[in-house]
Amino acid sequence: MNRAAVSIAFVGPVLLLAVWWLAFDAQWVNHKLLPSPWSTVQSLWESVVSGSMTRDFLSTLNRTLSAFAMAAAAGIPVGIVLGSNQKVYRSIEFLVDFFRSTPATAMFPLFLLIFGIGDFAKIAVAAFAAWLVVVFNVAYGVMNARQTRILAARVMGASSLRVFRDVMFFESLPQTFVGLRMAASVALVVIIVAEMFIGSSDGLGRRIIDSQQVFDLQQMYASIIASGIMGYGMNLIFLGIEKWLVHWSGK
């Protein structure tokens, strides 16, 4: 990226800050609803420096990554099996689509019944929602493997196992990574909501709703921004890994 491209990328965020500041300064929005951007940034900075946010941030991150890890570990093998067997996939395609369309948050009560009110219930709902995304994308990637490449390997005398290991697996990787990235953000969404509404002693979701209850708006906005930073950071890391591992994607 050259300098012009970099500066163009800053235009949006700077504009947003300007509008925010204007809205605050000109009192377009009640100050009780919208603190100034500076006091929000200050509040975020103090929370970081004092370490008061660290625990919440880390618990949310920990829960999200646990849910994600479970989803990936259970989703990739299932996706591969489904994708490589059209009949099996067809027979449960409806179920996958149905549960993918069902809001994961609607399952909270059910998961609470099954797993109790501990931390694991939250992680389990998030893992379930993320798992569906992984399964769907991996299966899709395997199913859409380039036919020519599979034929090329077969004509060279490769066994089904080798075709699978040497061709189908790699063919499915780009789509698998799309699924993993989506799964991570789904997991984060579900974890934040779970922290807010199904009893948690820590986490960013808890922190956001607590500051809303005591009307500490600076802190509420600061925590929202922190959760945004977490989501954006995870996405960035995944994109980096993807670019390095699936270097041929889109070429």
Partner 1 sequence: MIAQPETKLRPVPAPEQAPPRQTYITVRGLSKRFGGSVLYESFDLDLPQGRITSIFGPNGCGKSTLINMISGLTPVDAGEILFDGKTLRDTTIGYVFQNYRDALMPWKRAIDNIKYPLEIARKSKAECSRRADELIASFDIGFDLHRYPYELSGGQQQLVSIMRALAPHPEVLFLDEPFSALDYEMTLFIRDKLQEIFVATGVTMLLVSHDLEEAVYLADHVLLLTKRPTRVAENVRFTAPRTRNAGTLSTDYFIQTKAHCLEIFQREVRK
Sketch the per residue contact string, 210 through 249, with partner 1: x for CB under 8 A, - otherwise: -------------------------------------xx-
Closer to partner 1 by CB, 52 or 159: give it.
Answer: 159
φ, ψ at 56 (rounded to 5°): -65, -45
Sign (positive or negative) of CA dihedral 206, 208, 212, 218: positive
φ, ψ at 158 (rounded to 5°): -70, 140
Q: DSSP assignment, residue 26?
A: T
Of 177, 194, 204, the residue nearest 109 (C-alpha): 194
Closer to partner 1 by CB, 141 or 203: give it.
Answer: 141
CA distance 19 to 8: 17
Closer to partner 1 by CB, 31 or 146: give it.
Answer: 146
CA distance 46 to 52: 8
Sketch the per residue contact string, 90 through 129, with partner 1: x for CB under 8 A, - otherwise: ----------------------------------------
Q: Which stretch binds partner 1 (CB under 8 A): 83-91, 99-107, 160-168, 231-239?
A: 160-168
**By the 8 A CB rule, do 103 and 81 touch?**
no
CB of 246: closest distance to partner 1 in angstroms? 8
CA distance 61 to 73: 18
The answer to whether residue 149 forms part of the interface with partner 1 (CB under 8 A) is: yes
The answer to whether residue 10 forms part of the interface with partner 1 (CB under 8 A) is: no
Select from 11, 33, 155, 214 the one that contacts partner 1 (CB under 8 A): 155
CA distance 177 to 182: 8
For residue 83, the one-letter residue type is G
The answer to whether residue 31 forms part of the interface with partner 1 (CB under 8 A) is: no
CB of 184: closest distance to partner 1 in angstroms? 23
CB of 159: closest distance to partner 1 in angstroms? 8
Closer to partner 1 by CB, 55 or 146: give it.
Answer: 146
CA distance 204 to 174: 31
The answer to whether residue 164 forms part of the interface with partner 1 (CB under 8 A) is: no
Q: Which residues bind partner 1 (CB under 8 A)?
A: 146-149, 151-158, 162, 166-167, 170, 173, 247-248, 251
